[in-house]
Amino acid sequence: MLTIPVFLAVTAAYMVKGMCGFANTLVFGTLAGFFTDNVNISPVDLLLGYPSNLWIAWTEWKGIRPKIWIPLSLLVIAGSIPGVFLLKTGDARTIKILFGFVVVFLGLEMFLRERKASGSGTPGSEKSASPALLVIIGLLSGILCGLFGVSALLVAYVSRTAGDQSQFRANNCMVFLAENTFRLFLYGSTGILTLEAAKTALCLAPFMVLGLFIGIFFHRRLPERTARLSVTVLLMVSGLSLILDHL
């Protein structure tokens, strides 16, 4: 797995992470999927993603809102349990295709909502969301995080409740940290997380750091509206990639 294309895939994935606050798994998983199976990719990306989530949450700490990330974290953790066991024992191709359609739909809805808000001149603010929607998206996000480490559904939800980019990045990464901590335990107890995966992650860590700081450099120079639109477009592209990759 330690080849030049994989080094480049990690750098590219964490450039996107630094710019948008998510999608490292989608980029890395798609590119690394040409060389190995998902059961080998997920534990490596989990180990690489943990410090990057910690760094972004720390740098954006003023945007952290417990009412957003704590209930969502609990639901995502609950959903991770069946997700991890499906990763270990099952073929999740159909789930991933269906998930891709959901992500494309949510990304399109977010894009249209952003254009409408921009046209009306409405500034960003914290938004409320249905408790039922929170439960459904939280559990589905957990299952998908357990299966693939993919967080696009979670990102779509947080984008609906966060008031600005700082809140969006901070609360996403707080949920990621809670879910990642739990998934480290589950991967370890089920044998998915191995010593070989840890060694691979350690070798790839410099490329993760390089990509992350390049991405953060560009993020700080992007207008907020451009950053929000970039997130929605990336979600739609991610969903299409999942669909096409598994048809």
Q: How far apart are CA 227 and CA 31, in angstroms?
A: 23
Q: Is residue 40 a contact partner of residue 143, using CB atoms and an 8 Å limit?
A: no
Give the Å distances, CA to CA, from 4 to 7, 10, 42, 213, 235: 5, 10, 19, 20, 27
Please write the tens of the pLDDT for every residue from 185-203.
888 888 888 999 999 999 9
Which pLDDT does position 235 carry in this prediction?
A: 67
- Our CA dihedral for 93, 133, 104, 26, rounded to 10 degrees, sits at -60
Higher pLDDT, 88 or 53: 53
- Give ∠ CA 160-42-180 in degrees, rounded to 5: 55
Q: How far apart are CA 224 and CA 126, in angstroms?
A: 15
Which pLDDT does position 228 carry in this prediction?
A: 66
Up-side HSE of residue 241: CA atoms within 13 Å toward CB?
A: 17
Q: Is residue 245 a contact partner of residue 33, using CB atoms and an 8 Å limit?
A: yes
How high is the mean pLDDT of the chain? 78
* Strand, coil or helix: 125: coil
Per-residue tokens: 193: 């997380």
Q: How many domains does the chain have?
A: 1
Smallest CA-to-CA distance from 15 within 207, 213, 215, 210 is with: 215
Domain that holds residue 133: 4-246
Model pTM? 0.74
Strands (E), 28-154: none
Q: How far apart are CA 85 and CA 79, in angstroms?
A: 11
Please write the tens of the pLDDT for every residue from 151-179.
667 777 787 777 778 888 899 899 889 98
The number of residues in the chain equals 247
What percent of the chain stands above pLDDT 70? 73
Q: How confident is the model at residue 123 (pLDDT cuts 50, 70, 90)?
A: very low
Q: Which residue has the tokens 């977010």?
A: 110
Give the Å distances, CA to CA, from 117 to 124, 207, 223, 225: 9, 38, 16, 10
Per-residue tokens: 37: 């199976």
Q: How confident is the model at residue 99 (pLDDT cuts 50, 70, 90)?
A: low
pLDDT score of 35 more than 70: no
Higher pLDDT, 60 or 130: 60
Up-side HSE of residue 107: CA atoms within 13 Å toward CB?
A: 21
